[in-house]
Amino acid sequence: MSSDRRAAPRSLLTPTAGGSHELMRDGLKLQELTVDELRFNVRHSARRKTMQITVERDGELVLSAPPEVGEAALRTFVLEKRFWIYTKLAEKDRLQREVPRKTFVSGEGFLYLGRSYRLKRLDDQDVPLKLAAGRFCLRLDALPAAREHFIRWYGERARVWLSARVADYRSRMEVAPAGVKVQDLGFRWGSCGKGDWLYFHWKTILLPARIAEYVVVHEMAHLHEPHHTPAFWLRVERAMPDYAQRRAWLAEHGIDVEGL
Ligand SMILES: [Zn+2]
């Protein structure tokens, strides 16, 4: 991913690993410098008094330096800044992976239990938003608050659906949760809290049913075992023998489920 992008040849001046290459252009000394797998465009400028590294939008690395700074000093500077550079590159990767925000145009797809339903905008209907005949139908006057309407719709469905799954598993898993609360849990799918309440992110209802069911079983197992100990996973496995596949799916694809 990011390493592919950084490794892509940008010019014929690309040096071999660890090397550097210079030429004069427009009176500026241009140079490329490679340190480990990081490749920098070096820009020497008489106006600069100090060295600086910039991570461009596309992940390109630019090292700016005063004219007199030699390769050894550039390398030392890069090595000192290496942690910062990797942090920045990781941030760029994460941002580029982020699912684009919804615009609520007709035809746009919205997930519900793992299936995508297209949006249809209507002049008039009895409620602001509903799922009918395989379409999410959004009333036009609800458009400015479309995101809130979707979150409320998902939250209501999630509470009903997740409560039913909890009921399916409660005797089998020998737990007595107080009930289900659905809210925005940030990066977590679920948690269990004081008084044996089970909390789920409203986005859980966007997951395929079998994956959302795993989230339920996972949280219910926490009512016995607060931490991810071997005893915890054993309990999950007893309730859901193929949990590992579902867990792997969630780890790999869960991030793509974002997006409203
Ligand atoms: Zn857990």
Whether pTM > 0.85 for this model: the answer is no
Q: Using DSSP, state whether 122 is helix, strand or coil.
A: strand
Question: From the CB of residue 127, how many other CB atoms can be counted at a distance below 10 Å?
Answer: 12
How far apart are the C-alpha atoms of 97 and 161, rounded to whole Å?
29
Ligand 1 centroid – CA 213 distance (Å) = 14
CA angle 251, 257, 260 (to 5 degrees): 150
- Ligand 1: centre distance to CA 232 (Å): 9
Amino acid 45: pLDDT: 86
The fold of the 109-257 domain, in CATH, is Zincin-like (3.30.2010)
H/E run at residue 24: strand 20-25
- What's the DSSP call for residue 32? E
- For ligand 1, the distance from its centroid to the CA atom of residue 180, given in whole angstroms, is 16
pLDDT tens sequence across 54-93: 887 777 888 999 988 888 899 999 998 888 888 788 777 7
pLDDT for res 206:
96
Among candidates 119, 125, 123, 116, which has minimal Cα distance to 104? 119
Ligand 1 geometric centre to CA of 226 (Å): 8
Residue 187 pLDDT? 80
Residues of the chain with pLDDT under 70: 1-30, 94-99, 258-259
CATH 3.30.2010.10 domain range(s) in the chain: 109-257
